[in-house]
Amino acid sequence: MLRETRLLLWRALAAVMVLLGVIGIAVPVLPTVPFLLVAAWAASRGWPALEARLLAHPKYGPDIRRWRERGSVPRKAKWMSSLMMLASASLLIMSGAATWLKWAAPLFMAAVAIWLWRRPED
């Protein structure tokens, strides 16, 4: 029973991440590949057929395999991510959000950008 529940949870996580990745194809500010990376990871634990399908995908499969093999991120993705984080931080700062959030979110985004730019490239 526990094994079946665990398997179901891994599959649910993989399915939700694929759904978010598909939404990200249509919504420019929502990234696709990071969700598919998590989907492939979750599928590897409970849905091998989905994992194989994600790895074989002609457009996103190479990105997933590259991340698994070398932890690398293409330069174009680094630039796009950084620009989106900058735009998001700018909009947040101009909004009526709480002051602590206007500081915390951009600092978090800056930390993510630093981490991202330290990843190897192709």
Ordered per-residue pLDDT tens for the chain, 122 residues: 888 999 999 999 999 999 999 998 888 778 888 999 999 999 999 999 999 999 999 999 999 999 999 999 999 999 999 999 999 999 999 999 999 999 999 999 999 999 999 999 97
**pLDDT value, residue 30:** 80
Q: 56 and 8 share a domain? A: yes
User: Same domain for 26 and 61?
Assistant: yes
In a domain, 122, yes or no: no
Global pTM?
A: 0.81
Looking at residue 39, what is its pLDDT? 96
In contact, 60 and 33? CB cutoff 8 Å: yes
Q: Domain range holding 96?
A: 75-117
Which of 33-39's residues contact partners 24+ apart within 8 Å by CB, and which partners? 33/60, 33/63, 33/64, 33/77, 36/60, 36/63, 36/64, 37/63, 37/64, 37/67, 38/13, 39/13, 39/14, 39/15
Same domain, 14 and 40: yes
13 contacts 38 by C-beta, under 8 angstroms: yes
pLDDT value at position 31?
A: 84
Same domain flag for 34 and 90:
no
- pLDDT at residue number 10: 96
* Torsion angle of the four alpha carbons 110, 81, 11, 22, in this order, in degrees rounded to the nearest 10: 150
**pLDDT value for 87:** 92
